[in-house]
Structure 1
Amino acid sequence: MRAAIQVLSAIMLNVEFLTGNLGNGFIALVNIMDWVKRGKISSVDQILTALAVISRITVLWSLYIMVSIFSVYPDAEVTMTTVRLTHLIWVISQHFSIWLATILSILYFLKIANFSNSIFLYLRWRFTKVVSVALLMSLLLLFLNILVSNIHIDMWMNKFETNVSYSYKLKNFTHIPTLLVLTNSMVTLMPFTVSMTMFILLIFSLWKHLKKIKHIAKSSRDTSGTAHIKALKTVFAFLLLYVIFTFSLFVHLWSYEFGEKKKLFKYFCPVGIIAFPSLHSFVLIMGNSKLRQTSLLVLSMLRCKIQGC
């Protein structure tokens, strides 16, 4: 039973890893080719490309390597340098993954929502400044996150050295306090809250729009309502996947404190962890008309080639 669960979770993990790399690579390739062809790139495509190349692929590889190593070899000995380097890569890639997705949520809100508020109109026309401020704030939070995390690592290592005979080595990496993950989660709580706020405001904007068109003649196609719904689906998928990711991460860490019988479900936690950077790429593809049409064209060509058309 246990062996079957391990095999099943390993298969799901590898499928997610491969499809995630394909999805993010597809986003980057299509946007870069379109950029070269047109000589310009839109703000949405810039964010999507940065999200796919800079953060998501890095997140996928770092998560996959860490989860694979410490799931297969939970009692492996690692040096303190490995701990610091692994955590640094994890923090930086995850940080930009969350913040770029949040900026994308802000962009959807400013471009699609319809409010007459002066602050909203100012932010809509100053989107570049909004992005710059958001990135600057994110860099400040990233610095604080790394600083606090290194302090926690030093404190934990000092305590470890006083209780263990061999120095600068850690037995069972999975027993490092979950305080590091908790610190990172607290820092990313701000962008998550911003995305949640954008989601609620988009719902309110859609409600106002639907209320308004009840009193006027409906056009054959409600483009504004359709845009609202697409944006809401994309932002909701991001929020849901990130909640699953965070929950799976904490359960995976805490599962090592449980009894052997309760440890079986921990094999599926890595699947939930990898699902965020992997599946979210396909959400972005389906939510973007250019990427969706290109993907459908590629799939039709592949199907035709396989069938010998």
Structure 2
Amino acid sequence: MSFGTRVFFLAVSTGEFILGVLGNGFIGLVNCIEWVKNGKVSSADFILTCLAVARIIQLWVTLLDSFVVGLAPHLYATGKLVKVVILLWALTNHLTTWFATCLSIFYFFKIANFSHFFFMWLKWRMNRVLLVLFLASFFLLSFDLLMQDALGELWMNTFREPERNMTLHLDASKIFYLKSLILLSLTYVIPFLLSLASLLLLFLSLVRHTKNFQVNLNHSRDFNTEAHKRAMKMVTTFLLLFIIYFISTLIGNWIFLKLQWYEVMMFVMVVPTLFPSGHSFVIILGNSKLRQIAFRLLWGLKFYKN
């Protein structure tokens, strides 16, 4: 691989890391300050803070992985480092995915309005429902960790070969690809379906709300409608970024396993990082408190420079 390609890859990875740390760090810092100041924290702010911290750790792991691949890929031939990186990535990826999913479900329970007894029962116990759902998600993490040895072996076999001849055994590649496909389906499809269900139910709630109060023009109706729309925009953006994250990872792994292209592996590492980095700014713009603080901060910096 050429020197220019390495430099470009490391520059993009570093830029995504800086943006992601700034965005997620801002979310975590604002919520922590509010927590210390008020002595309590809302469920939404708690989920956002946990999501921000998990994403910062994930970005550090991804940056470490990028620099090892770009500068010293031979370190992965030993096996110890690759197993540590894979384990950390699997754990942080699980946490960020499910914290974001819990946030989508929280928006649904907090804003949607249905008269069904089962919905009211779940809404009344919303915090417990989210906690049980998050703890139950670790059952999927066990499937992820079970195949880490196969993934580590794949990377070791890759980097043990000369860079210009990274041929893998075809049978091993097929077996690993099938395992990775099953894993990705379990890890990504289930939280995706939960978030998609939250979005569809929010839309149904908005339709019912509009029909019931189409004659009433009070402020309560306007507030509820806007709350529905903001929540739907947040969940929709999350789903779109989530789809890009899933497809780029799946296709990139398939191309790399079949063709053994070193550059494709780097592309796979760069594109998914857009999800934890870009989604943080979407959260900031969609949250009124975070948005106002961010604008005041930017205005203050602009005034200070002038």
TM-score range, shorter chain: 0.7 to 0.9
How far off its partner does 1:239 sit?
1.0
Q: Deviations over 1:253-298 (max 9, x none)?
A: 33434497xx877765443211001011111111211111111111
Distance 2:126 2:287 in 1: 20
TM-score calculated relative to the size of structure 2: 0.84
* 1:196 to 1:270, Cα distance in 2 relative to 1, 3 A: same
Q: CA deviation at 1:3?
A: 7.6
- Matches for 1:34-53 after TM superposition, within 5 Å: 34-53=34-53
**Structure 1 residues 218-227 or 113-122, which shifts more?**
218-227
Alignment of 1:93-132 (within 5 A): 93-132=92-131
Worse overlay, 200-209 or 210-219: 210-219
Match of 1:231 in 2: 231
Q: Which residue identity is paired with 2:101?
A: T
**Aligned partners of 1:304, 1:184: CA distance in 2, in Å?**
50
Contact 1:80–1:170 (Cα < 8 Å) also in 2 = no
| Matched residue, 1:138 | 137
Aligned to 2:299: 300
Partner Cα distance (1:30, 1:174) in 2: 49
Counterpart contact for 2:55–2:92, Cα < 8 Å: yes
The C-alpha deviation readout for 1:173-231, integer Å capped at 9, x for no partner, is 99674456434422322112111110111111112222223233354971111111111
1:208 matched to 2:208:
yes
Q: Distance in 1 between matches of 2:151 and 2:292?
A: 47
Q: Does residue 80 of structure 1 match 2:93?
A: no
Closer/same/farther in 2, CA of residues 80 and 5 from structure 1, 3 Å limit: closer
Letter in 1 for 2:280: S
What is the one-letter code of the residue matched to 2:200? Answer: I
State the 1:135 CA deviation.
1.9
1:248 Cα shift?
1.8
Q: Distance in 2 between matches of 1:200 and 1:305?
A: 45
Tell me if the contact between 1:98 and 1:192 (Cα under 8 Å) persists in the aligned partners: no
- Consecutive unaligned residues in structure 2, runs of 5 or more: none
Compute the displacement of 1:44 (Å).
0.6
Whole-Å separation in 1 of the counterparts to 2:191 and 2:235: 12
Matched residue, 1:277: 276
Deviation at 1:50, TM superposition (A): 0.6
Matched, 1:243 2:227: no
- Do 2:253 and 2:268's aligned partners in 1 also have CA atoms closer than 8 Å? no
> Quick check: 2:57–2:92 contact (8 Å CA) kept in 1?
yes
CA distance in 2, matches of 1:295, 1:305: 15
Please tell me whether the aligned partners of residues 35 and 41 of structure 1 are also in contact (alpha carbons under 8 angstroms). Answer: yes
Could you tell me which residue of structure 2 aligns to residue 149 of structure 1?
147
Look up the SS of the partner of 1:28 in the other structure: helix
Q: Within 2, Cα distance between the matches of 1:286 and 1:74?
A: 38
* Unpaired segments ≥5 residues, structure 1: none
Alignment deviations for residues 121-143 of structure 1 (CA, whole Å, 9 cap, x no partner): 11110012102211220122222
- Matches of 2:184 and 2:260 in 1, distance apart? 26
Query: CA separation of 1:4/1:217 partners in 2, compared to 1, >3 Å: closer, same or farther?
Result: same
**What is the alpha-carbon distance in structure 1 between the residues aligned to residue 11 and residue 305 of structure 2?**
25
Q: Is the 8 A contact 2:55 2:276 kept in 1?
A: yes
Deviations 1:234-261 (A, max 9, x none): 111111111111222233333434497x
